Amino acid sequence: MLEDDYMVRQTDALSNTIARLVLGKTDTGYTPTGRTEDAAADGLWFRLDQLVKAGAFNEVEDLLYEETDEDDLRFLAVAVDFYAHLNQRTDRELEAGGFTREEVGDGLRDMARRFGVELAL
């Protein structure tokens, strides 16, 4: 359990660091705006949200990787939101959704790398 607590703190720190330093935000959440220029990221967020509510975490991650445009930081914001929310789930919830605690941190780091973000946390 102590290792899991450490992993949760590490992923929280990484999420918050990306939000602040890369996205210029004070939190890790993504809020759909409804603006035309945000339509693709908003649409992805809504689809991911429905899958998260259904507990289909692997499907969410697959969709996130398939639909992300690495040239648009709005998609990184969507990814940070997804992984930050997953990080708040219990190990039991993650396992039920086909995910592990380690995959949450690894997925966030992998997604950040796709956007050229390398952080040593």
Cα 34 to Cα 20: distance, rounded to the nearest angstrom: 23
SS in 3 state form for 64-89? HHHHCCCCCHHHHHHHHHHHHHHHCC
Give the pLDDT score at 35. 96
Domain membership of residue 120 (yes or no) is no
Give the pLDDT score at 58. 87
Q: Phi and psi (nearest 5°) for 46?
A: -65, -40
Domain membership of residue 53 (yes or no) is yes
Question: How do residues 73-88 score in pLDDT, each as one tens digit?
Answer: 999 999 999 999 999 9
Work out how many domains the chain is built from and give that number: 1
**Domain extent at residue 20:** 2-114
pTM: 0.92
Q: Phi and psi (nearest 5°) for 48?
A: -65, -40
Which pLDDT band holds residue 3 (cuts at 50, 70, 90)? Answer: low
Question: Dihedral angle at the C-alpha atoms of 31, 69, 7, 53, nearest 10 degrees?
Answer: 50
Question: How do residues 7-66 score in pLDDT, each as one tens digit?
Answer: 899 999 999 999 999 999 999 999 999 999 999 999 999 999 999 999 899 899 999 999
